[in-house]
Amino acid sequence: MSEEWNYQGEDERKLLVARYEKMIADDESYFFDIDQFESIIEYYLERNRIKQAQHVLKYAAQLFPDSTVLLLREAQLLASTGKLSRAVPRLKNLLRFEPNNEEVLMTLASVYSQLREHRQAIEYLQTALKTADKELKDEIWIELALEYENLERWDKAIETLTEAIGANPENETALYEIAYCFDMANKTEAGIAYFNKFIDYFPYSFPAWYNLGNMLQKEEKLEESIHAYDYCLVIQEDFTPGILNKANALVKLERYEDAIKEYKLLVGLEPLHASSLCFIGECYERLEQYEEAEKYYRQSLEVDDEFADAWVGLGVIMDLQDMSDAALKFFERALKIEPDNIDFQLLIGASMRKLGMHSEAAAIYENIIRLESTNVDAWLDHSDNRFRMGDHTGALELIREGVTLIHDSIELEYREVAYLYRHGKRKEAYGRLEELLTRDFENSQSLLEYLPEIENDPVVVQLLDLYKPD
C-alpha cells in the first residue's frame, strides 16, 4: 500500500507517527520517505521512547540501507543508550564519506566528551566550526567552550565565547557562560571590564546588565550592582533573576524595606516558592517586626512544610523574644529535615544552653566536633557550655584542644584568655593577651564582648591602649 504524505507542524508529525504505528499494528506496508522516518525517530527520542525509535530505525534501514541520515541516527541512538564505543567507529566511517558533515562531527565530539576525552572532542568541534553556517556556529562555540571548561582551561573558554559573542552579540547563552568563566577563573574585575565595554556598544542587552550586576555584587560593589540590575529590569521588567539578585544586594546593604518590595514583586511574578516567602520573613525579622516575620515564615511552610529554613526562621524569632522552649522545637523540626546540617545543630545547642540543658548541649557539640573537628563555633560553644556549668578548668581544656586542632583561629585564642582570666590565672592571661594584641588587635573585641568585666582591669586597659592602632 502506497500513500503520499506531506506534513509540516507538530500536529502533522503526531499524525505521521500514528500512521506508522497503525501500519505496524495492521502488519501492512505504507510508504515513508527518509525525512518522514527521521521525524518519527526524533519524535520517539524526544519522549525517551528508545525502543520504539530503535524499531523505526531498524525498519527504515532495511528500506534505505545506504542512507547517511539513518546511519547517523543509529550512531546517535547507540550513544544515547550508553554504547559509546560502538558509536565511534560508525561515526568515523560516516566521516570518510562526508568529512565536513557538521552533525557527524558534533556527535563525535559529544561522544568523546562523554568518554571524558575532551581534547578529542575539541578537535572535532574545531573542524565543524570551519564549515558551519552562522546559525550553527553559535551552538558549536558554546559546545567548544564547555569542553575547555571541562579541562578547566578558563582562559580558552573565555577566548572562545568572546569570539562567539563578537559574531552574535545576541547570543544570550554565550553571555551567561562567559560570566561563569570569569567567575571560575577568579577574574571578576576583568569580567566587569568586559561587560562594561560590551554595554557601551549594546546598551539594551539585559543579560549583559544582569551579569554585570552579579559580578559587581560579588566584589561587594553593592550600590553599583543595584544600578546594573535596575537597567536590566528597565529593559526586561519581569526578569525574575534580576529582581531576586537586586533584593539580595539590598539585604546586604541592610535596606530591608526596599528588599521586601523586590521580594514581593518576585512573588507576584512567579508561582509561589517557599524560599521567596522565607526571604521576606527574614527581612521583617531584621526589622524586628516579628509578627510579620512569623506570618511569612508560616506562609512559606504552607507552600512547602519541608522547607527547613522557614522552620529555622520561626525558631530565630522565638529565640529573639526569649521563648527558648518554642525556639528549640522549631530548630529540632528543621534538623529532622536536614539531619546533617551543622548550623541547625549549633542553634539547637544554643537553645539548650539557654534552657540550662547543659548535658544535652554537650552531646550536641561533641557530635558536631566528631563530624567537623575544625568548626570554630562548635569549640567556642562547647567550651562556653562547660564554662556556664561553672567548670572553668574544663572550659579551658576544651578551648586549648580546639586551638591545637585549629592553628589559625585567633577567636579561639582570645577565648582562651577569657577562661585563663576567670580561672584566676591572671599573669598567664595578661601574657597571652599581649601576644595576641601584637598579632591581631581587631579581634580583641570578641574578648571584651564575651567577658565585659575584663575591660575594668587596669592591666588590660593599659595593654589595649598600648597596642591600639593609630
Whole-angstrom CA distances from 362 to 340, 350, 368, 370 are: 17, 10, 10, 12
Whole-number Å distance between alpha carbons of 271 and 301 = 15
Whole-number Å distance between alpha carbons of 274 and 307 = 7
| 61 pLDDT above the threshold of 80 | no
Q: How confident is the model at residue 86 (pLDDT cuts 50, 70, 90)?
A: confident
Q: How confident is the model at residue 81 (pLDDT cuts 50, 70, 90)?
A: low
Q: Which three cell numbers stand for residue 114?
A: 562523554
Q: Indicate yes or no: pTM above 0.85.
A: no
Mean pLDDT of 174-182: 97
Is residue 411 within 8 Å of residue 417, measured between CB atoms? no
Whole-number Å distance between alpha carbons of 52 and 41 = 8
pLDDT tens for 252-299 read: 999 999 999 999 999 999 999 999 999 999 999 999 999 999 999 999
74-78, 246-250, 359-363: which has the minimum mean pLDDT?
74-78
Whole-number Å distance between alpha carbons of 189 and 266 = 29
- Which residue reads 512567579 in cell numbers? 270
Q: Which three cell numbers stand for residue 120?
A: 578529542
Is residue 108 within 8 Å of residue 78, measured between CB atoms? no
**Residue of 38 and 202 predicted with greater confidence:** 202
Mean pLDDT of 87-112: 80
Whole-number Å distance between alpha carbons of 299 and 291 = 12
Longest Cα–Cα distance of the chain, Å, equals: 107
Whole-number Å distance between alpha carbons of 62 and 48 = 23
Q: How confident is the model at residue 177 (pLDDT cuts 50, 70, 90)?
A: very high
Q: Which three cell numbers stand for residue 263?
A: 521580594
Supply the mean pLDDT for the chain.
Answer: 90
Whole-number Å distance between alpha carbons of 95 and 426 = 83
What's the pLDDT score for residue 3?
42
Whole-number Å distance between alpha carbons of 419 and 389 = 13
DSSP state letter for 456: G
What's the pLDDT score for residue 6?
44
What's the pLDDT score for residue 23?
79
Q: Which three cell numbers stand for residue 107?
A: 556527535
pLDDT tens for 381-411 read: 999 999 999 898 999 999 999 999 998 899 9
Q: Which letter, b or e, does each residue of 3-16 get, where b requires 16 or more Cβ atoms within 10 Å of its Cβ?
A: eeeeeeeeeebeeb
What's the pLDDT score for residue 4?
41
| 422 pLDDT above the threshold of 80 | yes
